[in-house]
Amino acid sequence: MKLHRQLILFTAALFALGTASQAQDFKGPVRLIVGYPAGGSADAVARMVAEGLKDEIKAPVVVENRAGAGGQIAADYVRSVPGDGTTILVANSHMMVMLPLTSKAVKYDPVADFKPIGRMTSFYEAIALPASVQATDVKQWIELARGDAKLSSFGVPAAGSVSHFIGYKLGADAKVSLQAVPYKGAAPLVQDLLGNQITAGIQPILDVAQHSQAGKLRVLAVNGSKRAQLLPDTPTLKELGVSGFDSLEWTALFVPKSTPDATAERLNAALNKVLAQKSVQERLLKLGMESHPSSPAELGSLVSSDLNTWRPVVKASGFTID
């Protein structure tokens, strides 16, 4: 009996030691590094996740904005810090896919320098036209552009964005020269669409959903393999027989490559519990995003897949931001 009791006490002590060791992994605060200014959508997602993450990992979680160069400053910083799980990059597909493909100034490698934690959200791009333009689907719009060069321009929120290359690929596949017109953000682009100043725009779905529902803009299609929750009546390009546009934009968490796999898995489990909360999903939808959790391995595959998808498109376009 005495020996049995000693074994029980010894086992309990080992369990307590292991639990304490796990808790020490995240001696705080844990920092979520955002590459964009406070108040934007990336910052809003980070703060939402930080709020839930602190309860899951039992440590303080703070958001730190290191804005500049389209997110490059934040990514460069995170890749250089110790991989102890306390410094996490809040990244998006522009930072991890489009910038490395379009800029020679990018110093980080999205695959070699970071370890994936998990995807947080996905969001759609929408092809929108003023209600006055006589095209009710994408093929009709492309045929209008084929017949009149004045109708071939499409606005995008920024040069080198996914929107930019969606338009380029649509034109290249149809053998029509569609011309991207970069704006400084989606807001001025939408205003020009509403004012009939430009024939078409490709921008995040949130920026046009309300105007589509009010009948002021006509959203022809969205990318992705399934319809968007914000505009469930709008078909995907895939449904319309236009292939090659299944990939969505996304936001995700990454840590330095030196971070132990066990730490990454623990952070992933905590993140996915936060994303499973209905209140979080509803708040994300108001930002135009859908909760879309993943494993670290799935996120790693997604980054590689997106790089492989867009690399030949960017190369064929000849575009560079340098």
List, in sequence order, every residue forming a beta bridge with 128; answer none if it has no partner.
Answer: 201, 219
Phi, psi of 314 (to 5 degrees): -60, -45
- How far is 72 from 66, CA to CA, in rounded Å? 9
Q: Model pTM?
A: 0.90
pLDDT category of residue 20 using cuts at 50, 70 and 90: very low
Across 53-57, average pLDDT? 96
Tokens of 118: 């998990």
pLDDT of residue 3: 45
H/E element, 90: strand 87-92
What tens digit of pLDDT does each residue of 259-287 get? 999 999 999 999 999 999 999 999 999 99
Mean pLDDT, residues 250-258 taken together: 98
Q: Give me Rg for the CA atoms of the chain.
A: 22
What pLDDT, in 10s, does the model give residues 101-146? Answer: 999 999 999 999 999 999 999 999 999 999 999 899 999 999 999 9
C-alpha 313, offset from chain centre? 19
Residue 28: predicted pLDDT: 73
d(C-alpha 153, C-alpha 167), whole Å? 9
pLDDT at residue 23 in the model: 39
Average confidence score pLDDT of the chain:
92
Q: Is the pLDDT of residue 1 over 50?
A: no
Determine the Cα–Cα distance for residues 55 and 67; give it in Å rounded to an integer: 27
Q: Take residue 176 and report the two structure tokens written for it.
A: 């029509």
| pLDDT of 94 strictly over 90 | yes
User: What is d(CA 309, CA 58) in angstroms, rounded to the nearest whole number?
Assistant: 39
Residue 254 CA to residue 112 CA, distance in Å, equals 12
Run of H or E residues at 32: strand 30-34
Query: 27-122+249-317 architecture in CATH?
Result: 3-Layer(aba) Sandwich (3.40)
Domain with CATH 3.40.190.10 in the chain: 125-222
Q: How many CB atoms lie within 10 A of CB 134?
A: 9
Residues of the chain with CATH 3.40.190.150: 27-122+249-317
**pLDDT at position 27:** 72
For domain 125-222, the CATH class is alpha beta
Classify residue 199 by its DSSP letter: S
> Poorest-confidence range of 5-9, 63-67, 146-150, 269-273?
5-9
